Structure 1
Amino acid sequence: MSYVENGKEFNRDTNYIETRITADGRDGYPVEPGRYRLVAARACPWAHRTIIVRRLLGLEDVISLGIPGPTHDESSWNFDEEPGGVDAVLKVNRLQEAYFARYRDYPRGITVPAIVEIATGQVVTNNYPQITLDFSTEWTQYHREGAPDLYPEALRGEIDEVAELVFRDVNNGVYRCGFAGTQQAYDKAYEQLFARLDWLAGRLTDQRYLVGETITEADIRLFTTLVRFDAVYHGHFKCNRSKLSEIPVLWDYVRDLFQTPGFGDTVDFDHIKRHYYEVHTDIDPTSIVPKGPDLHGWLEPHGRESLGGRPFGDGTPPPPPKAEEVVPADHWVPAQVPL
């Protein structure tokens, strides 16, 4: 599957389906329990954000979750690891069917996360940055008791500013390294990535979280890239100045989040590695999935409690994941983390 265009810099298509699910239903899709299904591959960092936010806010019984397999072809993510290769609720083999149900000739990529209206089988939105913000601000009536405020109004300007820098240089920066079509494009992305990681390490040296005293949307957006860094981005995407585990502040920071309920228990290293190494055949033509890295370091103490901060603010940790959403034991079990 080709992602690298020789002679070109990687540019992400950020034109998404902008329909929103809101409390007032102004786009025709009102907030309503049981009406929608979130389709989110555990392999994908952009989808992983939605899984974490849904869990932290306690929306599991309100918005169901469909999990595609870790690989896909040029046309669509699919449900090949589900019984019969079919999503249990949407009754489709491929996510593409939900896109085509709404847009007969949908011209862009079939991406996750996507929210699908169950009754019609039609995709509502795949605008992943807005999905998590709407989970926090539009679905408040259905948040669990003790749900944290992941997007506090007083800090939204700073959260947005930090998140934009993280997206440009880190979230998307690793892809700009991996899919660079020229040496010049790769060199530029590489320098920007590690300059931003150094900036983040400096910011996090004396504060536990990116913005304020609690976990916010900004931390979630950074976490899903950092948790994949040593497993795939360091080698597969040539982001190899240093491993994350060799940047002490960021390594402690990401393990702090990993050991927080709602983070590590949503990580599937098996799906992550299989996706990148099997799908990106222009980078890894043999599709050989590496055995490493050793994952035991994720369980080691991080010591960041000494910086203060309250992970959930005035809220509480989420309960354990629903049985049907637990990461399979043979994918390495984050539940072993001493939560």
Structure 2
Amino acid sequence: MHMSEKTTALDTRIANHEIANEITKEGAFNRQNNRFTTTFGSQPGELPVEVGRYRLLWARICPWAHRAVIVRELLGLQDVISLGTTSPVRTKNGWEFSLDEGGVDPVLGIRYLPEIYAETDPEYTGRATVPTVVDVTTRKVVNNDYFRLTNYFETAFKPFHKEGALDLYPAELRAEIDEFNDILFHDVNNGVYKAGFAQSQAAYEQAYDALFARLDQLEDRLSRSRYLFGDRITDSDVRFYVTLVRFDAAYYSVFRTNRNRIIDFPNIWNYAKDLYQTPGFGDTTDFDAIKRGYQLGNHADNPYQILAKGPDLSVWNKAHDRAEKFK
């Protein structure tokens, strides 16, 4: 393990303290609001869309950041928006660029993500989160709105999409996709965190029940169509995938979301393998980073830093039935 990926009980306590202001009096986790939410576009007050102007900062552990990276890959924006990668284990000083030479981001020259937040807004007291988009011409954080970021890549950056890129956010489905994504966020994407970060039995069980009730519904939905919106991959599939791919390796044990594994849902499991084997999904998925980030990092009480040997990750490359079932 890289020395900077080591963590301590103190790191975990500090990380837990960081979310203290996101816990309600009932012990439920209530995620902080995003601070930098200016939209991308061509209208006054919007962030201008230009090649090479923005740098996307992410950690491979993080589902919110991972979905932005998947969309960047699917749409061919790799040469339009540069990418900076932190260690998967968040330190007591925040996300760290320890994977880069010299331990600093090669473009921004920062060691820890909170440094660029402090440059942008010295009064900001929230967590410095990934994904973060930095305007490299001004060295300012301009957007950390993980909920809408993929939609900006899909719409405002459309002039720079590669030839033949998927239409992940088709105009005729946007209202339905937005409605679906909101439900998916509350019950599933953030639902695992609401279970994992709960500080009361009642709050944990409420999140747990809502999560699995929704997964049961999605299992049925995926028995009737290859993807969430028929025979085409959309933004919603990206959002569902990033939770699914972390579920059995992390959420099931670390967040105690243990009624079922994803592999136990026949339709969801084959759907997840289908996406994993699609370029842009599996090739941006780093299971080692996911396991280290959740099991050795700030999400788990693991004082002896023991990394679970399983689950068997080779199953993600096994055949799925989706193309045959919905041909």
Paired position in structure 1 for 2:322: 304
Secondary structure of 1:305's partner?
Answer: helix
Q: Which amino acid aligns with 2:54?
A: Y
Pair 1:45-2:42 in alignment? no
| One-letter identity of the residue aligned with 1:252 | N
Q: Which amino acid aligns with 1:165?
A: I
Correspondence 1:151-166 to 2 at 5 A: 151-166=169-184
| Structure-2 residue corresponding to 1:14 | 33
Question: C-alpha displacement at 1:289, in angstroms?
Answer: 1.9
Shift of 1:273: 0.9
* Shift in Å, 1:89: 1.1
- Give 2:175's aligned amino acid: G
User: 1:187 corresponds to which residue?
Assistant: 205
Q: 1:76 aligns with which of 94, 116, 124?
A: 94
Deviation track 1:136-161 (CA, whole Å, cap 9, x = no partner) reads: 00011111001110000001111111
- The answer to whether the 8 Å contact 2:254/2:300 transfers is no
- Match among 138, 155, 163 for residue 137 of structure 1: 155
Aligned sequence identity (%): 48
Q: Which residue identity is paired with 2:226?
A: R
Report the AA paired with residue 36 of structure 2.
I
Note the alpha carbon deviations across 1:106-131, whole angstroms, 9 max, x for none.
12110000100112221111001211
Q: 1:172 to 1:62 in 2, by over 3 A?
A: same
User: For residue 4 of structure 2, what is the aligned residue in structure 1?
Assistant: none
Cross-structure match for 1:295 = 313
The whole-number CA distance in structure 2 between the counterparts of 1:215 and 1:110 is 31
SS state of the match for residue 167, structure 1? helix
Aligned partner of 1:59 in structure 2 is 77
Question: What is the number of residues matched between the two proteins?
Answer: 308
- Give the aligned partner of residue 282 of structure 2: 264
Aligned residue number for residue 110 of structure 2: 92
Give the unaligned 5+ runs of structure 1.
310-339
Distance, in Å, in 2 between the alignment partners of 1:249 and 1:32 is: 40
Q: Matched residues in 2 for 1:274 and 1:122: separation?
A: 30
Q: Report the CA distance shift for 1:289/1:26 in structure 2 as closer, same or farther (over 3 A).
A: farther
Aligned equivalents of 2:301, 2:200: Cα separation in 1: 14
| Distance in structure 2 (CA, Å) of the matches to 1:171 and 1:287 | 26
Paired letter, 1:18 = T
Secondary structure at the aligned position of 1:128 is classed as coil
Describe the SS at the equivalent of 2:188: helix
Q: For the residues of structure 1 that align with 2:30 and 2:294, how far apart are their CA atoms?
A: 18
User: What TM-score results when the alignment is normalised by the length of structure 1?
Assistant: 0.87
**Offset of residue 75 of structure 1:** 3.9
CA RMSD of aligned residues (A): 1.6
CA contact (8 A) 1:8 1:185 kept: yes
Q: How does 1:230-269 map to 2 (within 5 A)?
A: 230-269=248-287
Residues 41, 112 of structure 1: 8 Å contact kept = yes
Aligned-partner Cα distance in 1 for 2:60–2:160: 24
SS of the residue 1:221 aligns to = helix
Q: Secondary structure at the match of 1:188?
A: helix
> How far, CA to CA, are the matches of 2:171 and 2:282 in structure 1?
27
CA drift at 1:27: 2.5
**Greater CA drift, 205-214 or 278-287:** 278-287
| Aligned residues of 1:252 and 1:304 also touching (Cα < 8 A) | yes
Distance 1:14 1:285 in 2: 31
Q: Are the aligned partners of 1:76 and 1:94 in contact in 2 as well (CA < 8 Å)? A: yes
Task: Give me the whole-angstrom Cα distance separating, in 2, the residues matched to 1:268 and 1:128.
Answer: 19
The SS at the match of 1:101 is: helix
Measured in 1, the distance between the counterparts of 2:49 and 2:286 equals: 29
Report SS of the residue matched to 1:48.
helix
What SS does the aligned partner of 2:51 have?
A: coil
- Give how far 1:214 is off: 0.4
Q: CA deviation at 1:279?
A: 2.0
SS at match of 2:174: helix
> Greater shift after overlay, 86-95 or 131-140?
86-95
CA–CA separation in structure 1 for the residues paired with 2:84 and 2:281: 18
Indicate whether 1:109 and 2:127 are aligned.
yes
Distance 2:189 2:299 in 1: 21
- Do the aligned partners of 1:25 and 1:31 also contact (CA within 8 Å) in 2? no
